[in-house]
Amino acid sequence: MGLVVQAPIAVTSAAYVQLSASTFARAVSIAEDATGTAAGLIVKWPNGNVVEYTPAMQPIVIGNPGGGGAPLVGAPACGPAVSSYVGANPAATNYCQVKSMGATTAVRVSETN
């Protein structure tokens, strides 16, 4: 299994930031980065549910870590379409949207394939 860790993503309390797939992933871990002050995260899931995660409740895990045969939970955006096939250029999977519960912070997304 490979691990891809995205660069830190700045998050404020003012607006949601979309977290999307950068690779094919079977498990995803989302947590505040140690470079900032952990304030907690407000997460808006694709189904519309909104949940608050304090620093003690992180990392937020999507999928089945360590499950080699687990289904994919994320896929990256495809490059330019190479045929007229409809849907040949889908966007990356959107995991969720996040914003800070307080101070400006940074979030890391770790994807395991």
- Residues 13-34: pLDDT tens digits? 999 999 999 999 999 999 999 7
| Count of all residues that appear for the chain in the document | 113
CA dist 101 and 93 (Å) reads 24
**pLDDT, tens digit, for every residue of 31-87?**
999 777 789 999 999 999 999 999 999 999 999 877 667 788 998 987 655 555 555
Which residues, 6+ apart, have CB-to-CB distance to 2 below 8 Å?
Answer: 23, 112, 113
Read off the amino acid at residue 53.
Y
* Domains of the chain, residue spans: 3-76+92-112
**CATH among 1.10.40, 1.10.287, 2.60.120, 2.40.128 for 3-76+92-112:** 2.60.120
CA dist 32 and 53 (Å) reads 10
Nearest of 102, 81, 91 to residue 14 by alpha carbon = 102
